[in-house]
Structure 1
Amino acid sequence: MFTAKKFESSVSSGIYNEDTDIDTFGNAAEVGHAMSEVHQQLLDYKEFGNLDDLYLDVVSPPLQSCNDAEIRMILGIGSQNPELIDDVQKGSYMLPMRSFELLRRHGIKRSRLEGQICYTVCQTQSIYTRGSMMSTEKIIELAAENFIQSMSRTKEVSVVTHPYPSSMTLGRSEDDLKAVQLVQNLLLSAEKVDEKQYERARKLLEECERMSSSTGTPIQRLVFYFAEALYEKIDRENGTVSTKGLRKQILDPLEDLEPDQRFRISFHENHPLSQISQFSAMQAVIDHVAEATKVHVIDLEIRCGLQSTILMQALAVRHERPVQHLTITAVGTKSKLTIEQTGRRLTTFAESLNLNFSFHIVMVADILELNENLFELNADETVAVYAAYTLTYMIAQADRLEHIMTVIKIIRPCVMIVVEIDSNCNSPTFLWRFVEALFFYGAFFDSLAECMKNDETNRRHAESTCFKSSIRNIVAAEGGERKVRHLSLSVWRAFFTRFGLVEIELSMSSLYQANLLRQSFPCQSSCTLGMNGKCLTIGWKGTPLSTISAWKFQRDIDE
């Protein structure tokens, strides 16, 4: 049973703007009155009841793919975005230069978020039952630094048995040193795979296999799944299939894209990312339909509809300009029955609020069949589009992504709210992709270990299905087979600009809700919020995980 958490009645610290470094919420009293209704909506949300009855997300089926060159052409953002282009011809420069650049890029991204941190990142990292005193990300950073130093001295690869000279071991526990050693061996093996020195890579992977475990510390689990993916990549490139040790057949990431319902419930209750993204994004929708009496929201991935209940409850209690009717249209390519079940639950919930409500479904076998005429739009409706963690899975089918954006442009919503993963896992260059994914999933594994420490069963299930499958696809697959292609915010910005979209400010209400929700979790000191331009970034100990942004068409701003 889902029960909403109790929230603090005031804001103890604020969200800092990158440009002005001004504490937006420095004086809580100034915003307290304006936010009281928002705060009450959060408190009232606990009445929504039984999340156990809600259904799983609807996952679209695999569609035809295009290669990386076609993706770059479709997105039309060329050399401005190194995530989507080859860096330098392979072998044209020395290894240390490439390694330094990889670490430098990650450091810049992390420091950019830390420069806008809303809340203090915890200085004392969590202590795991069998693990390291350092955070997963810190371990990866130290391993990467030593990897660079060791490879700048010699190009010979060998298993690392002691990662640091004595002067660097001061203050480090034996577990910390073993964890750094483990990650350094993983980085070395990835380097050898990149250079197609597979026998040397296997030697390193055997050591990784010996030191890692799917049931160990966060860093051991992380390395376990990345090593498994490297084994798979070697087998694929050699044209062999092995069942020994970690080398198992890769899963289709679209089949295991989401863990099952029990994990979703546990994740929503215990991890701040889920609630912060849903409440803040829905508040952004509410802000842009404030004057509308008839509201129509197009949801590109309705899932279980939890985000819709947040919107419905907020609109139902609006007194100054009551909503006459709310319409939600769900777009899907499969599992119509599941979407219909979600619609029935939302209809029942709307009735309990005395809210006039309609639920529509637009089902197409292929997203290329989607067109504006399929939506039952009325001239007196204010239309908003909500896209949460859905556009990223069209990157591998760039013609579909182009098409759906064209349809949205024709519909011309008053706002499009986008929630996406913030990670650069789409580079066609293997090593770039590997390092970015290692940092991203390292932070995610670290967050799961802390937030779900009282629910190990569901955490293990999620890591062994959803996350394992995604890691293997990012690392082992190439070309059209690589379905998991997370992009950074900068790439999405360049892409949306092509369609005349302009990023707009998130309201104080959205930021305030993010603050309240963060404070309601025991892990609040590890959850970091920051502003990347006009976008809200949700991170873990400084590493960005997800972004919330709002977009309007330039022509609507000009009018």
Structure 2
Amino acid sequence: MQGEVGEDLLSLRLSVGSAYHFEPTKKRKRIDEPNDKNIMVLLQARDRMIRFGCNRHGMGDDKGFQLVRLLLLCATAVDRNDLSSSTDLLRQLYRNVSLSGNPIQRVTAHFIDGLMARFITKNSSFYSSIMADPSPADVFSAFTSFFLASPYYQFAHFTANQAIFEAFEEDEHWNGGCLHVIDFDVSYGLQWPSLIQSLSEKATNQKPISLLITGFGKNMEELSDTEKRLSSFASGFRNLFFEFEGRLRGEKGQEEIQVKKNATVAVNLVFYLHTLKNYSDIYATLMQINTLNPSVVTLVEKEGSRGNHSGFMSRFMESLQYFAAMFDSLDDCLPARNKERLRIEKNHLGREIRNAVAVKDEEEKGCRYEGLETWKTAMERYRFEGVRMSSRSVSQAKLLLKIKSHCSAMDDHGNGTGFRIFERDEGKALSLGWQDTHLITATAWRRSS
């Protein structure tokens, strides 16, 4: 499906763009807000879509082009503050999508919700009914389900961990078996069990290994849970001494990180930099990291050109193409009616789509998705140089796809019609892609000499 949708999007950039003139100066000044009657009609259409989606087929696979065209027309109308056209197009769209239909219907349903929230604005009492965040338990459940079902997060974690492990091995002649990882967004800590296991397999009675993880998180409860999970996991391995230091993101003194003396220092930036509000914060972070004198900095980010510098329609179409690939890839991982898949799409991917589309002040949610070249320029500006990804990293990534690719054909080189591994930037970057769309890219960096 993604190949066809990708071609559709390319042609629609011209056809829809020329018809609706995407220049910012063509926007109408909103003088009024959607009235409650129109909003109620739309909410009823949305409710019917949610309740009866399993029994509705709407537009079939061969109608994907028409569905995407309607969605882009609707996005244009919402962006231009055209209340009449927006109401009509939103109603049409809700009638033709399904949360349990084919991938393009499913992803479109979440984009419609984002447009609906942007249309009625935060001032409406109905806004929260669409944009309400799932509970922390539901967010964690969706994240872990996605982690287990798809190679997406595992590729990011395993590739970063391999670079950290290799940096630790290179420093063995002076680090005394000590590794200090500074994780700027430790989240639930799911990245670290594989590194703990790799280190434990290397450790011996004569040469034990000490691992300290300084992890920054959103709240103390999450950090406490992460510490318990990782400490419990690490306790099952001999000759490995594990410590976890939880720190709150944004707390006073975050810039004062004490590195462990005579240890290999690794800084982990997996899905972190894009969350920062502006380039000043990004550059300040990179300057701080440089002062830590790390042996390696691992950087993994989602691919895209959806930074705050571009206009809404440009970001919208980039996001649609990206998430169409994401939803298509889930079709390879889980059955259409699978409850875990619905949970992932609603509470993880759908939540991200709604926030990206609905929030008008883009800096409020971060959402700074950039391509490899942008991050490369930023790293090099602050005296980091790229490290070539090892053959072990490449082989590990391709092995992961062989294990995780359920339906897609896969050849001996790790290439296929579904998930693929791309070696880029003369071997200094590894990207996970779905067909020809790059999803995430992993790189490793060290201070320039």
TM band (smaller chain): 0.7 to 0.9
Q: Structure 1 length as normaliser, TM-score?
A: 0.64
Shift of 1:323: 4.9
Shift of 1:294: 1.9
Q: Which moved more, 1:504-513 or 1:335-344?
A: 335-344
Query: What are structure 2's unaligned runs of at least 5 residues?
Result: 22-58, 411-415
Structure number with higher relative contact order (C-alpha < 8 Å, ≥ 6 residues apart): 1
Query: 2:72 is aligned with what amino acid?
Result: L
Residues 287-325 of structure 1, C-alpha deviations (whole Å, 9 max, x = no match): 111142222111222233332221122222227997543
**Pick aligned residue for 1:470 from 329, 352, 356:** 352
2:412 is the alignment partner of 1:529: no
Q: Distance in 2 between matches of 1:265 and 1:551?
A: 28
Shift of 1:189: 1.8
% identical equivalent positions: 25
Shift of 1:259: 5.3
Shift of 1:507: 0.7
In the other structure, the counterpart of 2:197 is 313
Contact 2:94 2:109 in 1 (8 A): yes
Contact 2:114 2:358 in 1 (8 A): yes
In the other structure, the counterpart of 1:493 is 376
In the other structure, the counterpart of 2:153 is 274
2:308 is the alignment partner of 1:419: no
In the other structure, the counterpart of 1:46 is none
**Cα root mean square deviation, aligned:** 2.9
2:237 is the alignment partner of 1:353: yes
> Counterparts of 1:391-410 in structure 2 under 5 Å?
391-394=273-276, 396=277, 398-410=279-291
**Pick aligned residue for 1:548 from 431, 442, 445:** 442
Change (3 A) 1:346 1:195: closer
Q: Distance in 2 between matches of 1:304 and 1:287?
A: 24
Shift of 1:453: 1.5
Q: Distance in 2 between matches of 1:491 and 1:376?
A: 29
Q: Distance in 2 between matches of 1:466 and 1:264?
A: 7
Contact 1:370 1:407 in 2 (8 A): no
Shift of 1:541: 1.5
Residues 183-218 of structure 1, C-alpha deviations (whole Å, 9 max, x = no match): 111112222333333322332222212111223221
2:265 is the alignment partner of 1:383: yes
Q: Structure 2 length as normaliser, TM-score?
A: 0.79
Contact 2:203 2:209 in 1 (8 A): no
Query: How many residues align structurally?
Result: 394
> Counterparts of 1:28-427 in structure 2 under 5 Å?
135-142=1-8, 144-145=10-11, 148-149=14-15, 175-236=60-121, 241=124, 243=126, 249-251=129-131, 260-290=139-169, 291-292=171-172, 293-318=177-202, 323-364=207-248, 366-367=250-251, 369-372=253-256, 374-378=257-261, 380-394=262-276, 396=277, 398-427=279-308
Query: What are structure 1's unaligned runs of at least 5 residues?
Result: 1-134, 156-173
In the other structure, the counterpart of 1:32 is none
Change (3 A) 1:229 1:346: closer
Change (3 A) 1:400 1:257: farther
Change (3 A) 1:201 1:553: same
Q: Distance in 1 between matches of 2:218 and 2:85?
A: 45
Contact 2:302 2:440 in 1 (8 A): yes
In the other structure, the counterpart of 1:453 is 335
In the other structure, the counterpart of 2:45 is none
In the other structure, the counterpart of 2:56 is none
In the other structure, the counterpart of 1:164 is none
